Every structure is written in C-alpha cells, then in structure tokens.
A = this chain, B = another copy of it.
Amino acid sequence: MNQDQPGAVGVAPVTLDDVATHAGVSRQTVSNVLNAPHRVREGTRERVEAAIARLGYQPNRAARALRAQASRMIGYRIEPVHEESLASIHDRFLHALADAGREADHHLLLFTADDPAGELAACARLFRTGGVDGFVLYGIDHGDARPAALLKVGAPFAVFGRTDSDSGHCWADVDNVAGVADAVDHLIERGHRRVGFVGWPEGSGVGDRRAEGWRAALEEHGLLADCQRLDAQTHDTIAAGAAAGAKLLDLSDPPTAIVTVTDTLAVGVMRAAQGRGRVIGEDLAVVGFDDTPTARVLGLSSVRQPIEEVGRVIVEMLLARLPGVPHQPQTAAGPEGRLLRPSLVARGSSAAPYPSSST
C-alpha cells in the first residue's frame, strides 16, 4: 500500500519459489525447465511452463550470475569521440553488438577509460568482479597490447581487427585488401589508367593492407608500373588529405582517380581537387573508405564495411567460447577468425566513365 515509489504499481517480484509452489513442484525442477528441459518429463514441463507464463516469472539476473558465475554481460570500452575523423562506423558496430547478444540474453556493458593502461585495468577489474563474462575489442591493430594482457587475466574476448600474431583468441576482420582492390577494379573498369592512393604511414596493419589492395589490383591489371609514384602517406585528417591530394595532383602526370584509406582523407583530396578547378566525378574520380554519413552527403563513393555482420560474428564467436553456457553444442568452438568482405558503394564521385588516356 505504502510503496516508496510514488506512482509505482509495485508488482512483487516473482521468484522461482513462487512458480514452484504454483506448479506443485520443487524449485530445482523449475530451474531445470529453464536450463535443462530435457531432464524434465513433458507433462511436468508443461505444467511448470504454464505457471511461469501465468505468473510472468523471469529469473533474477543477479542471483543467476552469482550462482552460475556468469553475468551474461559482454564488456566493451567506448572510446572518446575523435572529433577530427568522420567515423560513424562505431555507432553501427555498437548497435550490431548489442543486437547480437540479445537472443542469447547477453547484454553489452559499456565502460570508459582514459588511456590504454586504464582500459586494461578496467577490464581486469570488470572481469574479476564478475561484471562481465568477456570482452569485445575494437580497432585492434599491430602491436596492440590488449590481447596479451587479457589472455594473462584469463578473460575471454574477441576482437575486431587483427594483430601480427592472432593466436589464442578469436577475431573477425574486414578484408581490407579486397575492399580497396574492388575500388580500384571499379575505377579501371570505368576507363581509368592512372589510379592513385592516399594512405596512412606504413606500420599499421589496416593501412598496409589497404595499400596492398591498391597495389595488388593494379598489378592484376598490369598497371602497377604506370602508377608507381601515385601514392602518398599521411595521417588521418582532412587537412592532411588535402595536402596529399595536392601533391599527387600537382605531379607532371597526375592520377585521374584516387582511392583513399578513409573518407576523411577522401574529403581532403576532394577539397584539393576542387581548389584546382577540377570537377569531382568528371576530371577526377575519388573513392573513400568507411561509407560515413559525410560520404553520402558529398556523393563520395566509398567502400562500406559490413560492420553489422562483423558485430554478429564476433559476438557469436565470443559466446561460443564462454565456459559454462554451451548455447550451441558445436564441434569445438567454431573457427578462430573470420574475414568478411566489404562492398563498394558507388556514387557520383566515381560516376562518369573516364576517356582512357591510352586511346
């Protein structure tokens, strides 16, 4: 009558015991109906299920977590928004993760950290206090210390991306080589023969693989020699992209198309080109990477990562490795890694066929 919450209806929480009483069985039988139905005779099971439905029972997460030593939570560090870049990939990824866990009643626990060390400390703490069963790591690359550290703590995890030695943990990644190669193919198909590339400084796995995609596709078409000097490396800002674009466009024999390692750099390249009076999509074709909202706005062709699928796959792999909750009695635990193919979204910036310079 006199609840603490003013407008609260105050439904008394229904427990296993309540269900057991109503169904005329013991607590444990109700538990079995939920967690190991095969152990329960059909008639009993139906009776219990009826009681569960009638009372609207739902197991208490804390109690379950305490006893089963499994919180059904997946930890994820959300990074500070990097103001300079255009990434919205992140939003999509988060949603995919949260959605992927839903069916198995696993939820995402978000946390923040100030730096890599802080992140590891937070992970260790969350894991040891039973706050989460495992982690998803985003944007991993060569030399990342996190996988080793988490292995040491004993926390299960799955990563988006690859390090130089992907052993002992599962990963999913986008096929960056294929993504950029597709972009190059697309441009060559439209008649371009001089295709440039603006990438990151060597050393990042992601950047190197994207550059590799450019090189491989050119080689495939026998154009690598023509494009030898048509690449530039710089860091990921619009201004840097503009500078790199300027450099390429001011060559004596400039590229007629440029692929970039990110949309951010592509925007810079477009700026540089427009500053030189070129019309994007006619005088110069540009293809970016990530398919950000900005790309859409600017009509920039871009390689779109199948983030939703990555999220799904990652959670799937992670859950399969969690001890205790063998949702799918798979053979062992599925493959260690999965490589997913991105897709090119062609827009105006690479629209018009280019009058081949060799004809």
Contact = CB atoms under 8 A, between A and B. Distances in A.
A277 interface: no
Contacts of A92: 81
Interface in A40-82: 58-63, 65-66, 71, 73, 78-81
Contacts of A83: 293, 296
A86 B5 contact: no
A109 B292 CA distance: 26
Q: Which of A10, A151, A293 counts the most chain B CB atoms within 10 A?
A: A293
A110 B128 contact: no
Contact of A112 (B91, B102, B151): B102
Copy total for this chain: 2
Interface string A82-114: 010110101110110111001000011111100
A95 B66 contact: no
Given A86-B297, A130-B61, A102 B95 contact: no
A79 B131 CA distance: 24
A63 B129 CA distance: 10
Given A5-B154, A61-B130, A78-B94, 19 more contacts: A7-B151, A7-B152, A8-B151, A59-B129, A60-B129, A62-B62, A62-B66, A81-B91, A81-B95, A88-B293, A97-B110, A98-B111, A102-B111, A102-B112, A107-B110, A107-B131, A109-B109, A293-B293, A293-B294
Nearest to A113: B102
A90 to B, nearest CB: 6
A238 interface: yes
Interface in A1-49: 3-11, 13
Contacts of A94: 78, 94, 110
Interface string A273-292: 00000000000000000001
B130 A60 contact: yes
Contacts of A323: 4-5
Contacts of A60: 66, 129-130
Contacts of A303: none
B267 A297 contact: yes
Given A58-B129, A130-B60, A293-B86, A80 B65 contact: no
A229 interface: no
Given A65-B62, A99-B112, A154 B73 contact: no
A10 B8 CA distance: 45
Given A109-B109, A110-B110, A88 B98 contact: no
Contacts of A131: 61, 107
Contacts of A145: none
A3 B151 CA distance: 13
A83 B88 CA distance: 10
A125 interface: yes
A167 to B, nearest CB: 9
Contact of A297 (B88, B109, B238): B238
26 contacts: A7-B154, A8-B151, A10-B154, A11-B153, A11-B154, A58-B128, A61-B71, A61-B131, A65-B65, A78-B94, A78-B95, A85-B293, A86-B293, A90-B91, A91-B91, A97-B110, A98-B110, A99-B112, A102-B111, A107-B110, A108-B109, A109-B109, A110-B110, A293-B293, A294-B294, A294-B297
